[in-house]
Amino acid sequence: MGFFDGFFVTMRQHRLFGGTRVTRQYSGGRVARKDGSSGADITRDQKAPKPERLHGRHVLNRYEDGMEKCIGCELCAGVCPAKCIYVRGRDNDPQHPTSPGERFGFVYEINYLRCIHCDLCVEACPTEAITESKLFEFSFTNRRDAVYTKDELLVGDDGKPRPQPWEDWRDGEAQHTSGWMRATAAAGSADFIGRVGWSGELGFGVRPAEADQSVADRIDQLDMPAPEPQGHH
């Protein structure tokens, strides 16, 4: 019976059964009606909680003074295993520079029909220009919308991502991106735990370091017995 469930969902959307044949506008998530007859008390559904290190939709960050962090080095495009990133750099105007370096990202595109959200582009970026937000609820009605341009990826004057009509942004999804925790990752050196080693971002300033990720803390969180020390032979 499960094989036909998808067909039933499609049939219910047909106009003969009270539905619409084509979804023409994104509704921003499902809606729940307490009173179906009057249509009152309409509330949006709630998203499932996301982990802090979720890899979602990318953003291009800017420094606290508003200058772009991208220097057009194309390292993100070179390391991408899916070949979904296209970057072209251009020399800065000495009188009106776009970035603090000699060059800036003149063209920046990400094809989300190919992106696998592996985060390798974030790791490769030398200036922390490209990071990933917590937004994972976005879909497209045509291929052109799936290729994000620099204007769509670059954060606004408030330092927050620029929402697109097909994206479902909620509170908190732009607060933490995947770049700020790299220096304190669990696999890194313990000498750098709690030390900030990244630049400030427009709208957020310098993000604080994440909590200690030592072995003892992880064991306490998992409620597991501590491993017995092993002697050296």
CB of 13 closer than 8 Å to CB of 19: yes
**Of 222, 140, 126, residue with least CA distance to 179:** 126
pTM exceeds 0.75: no
Residue ranges covered by each domain of the chain: 58-178
Q: Which top CATH class is 58-178?
A: alpha beta
Please give the span between the terminal C-alpha atoms of the chain, in angstroms, as a whole number: 61
Pairing label, strands 40-44, 31-35 = antiparallel
CB of 126 closer than 8 Å to CB of 73: yes
Q: What is the pLDDT along the chain (233 residues), one digit of tens a residue?
A: 556 666 666 666 666 666 655 544 445 555 555 555 555 555 666 777 777 778 889 999 999 999 999 999 999 999 999 999 999 999 999 999 999 989 999 999 999 999 999 889 988 898 989 998 888 888 888 889 999 999 999 999 999 999 998 888 888 787 767 655 554 554 556 666 666 777 888 988 887 766 554 544 544 545 545 445 555 54
Residues 6 or more apart from 187 whose CB is under 8 A from it? Answer: none
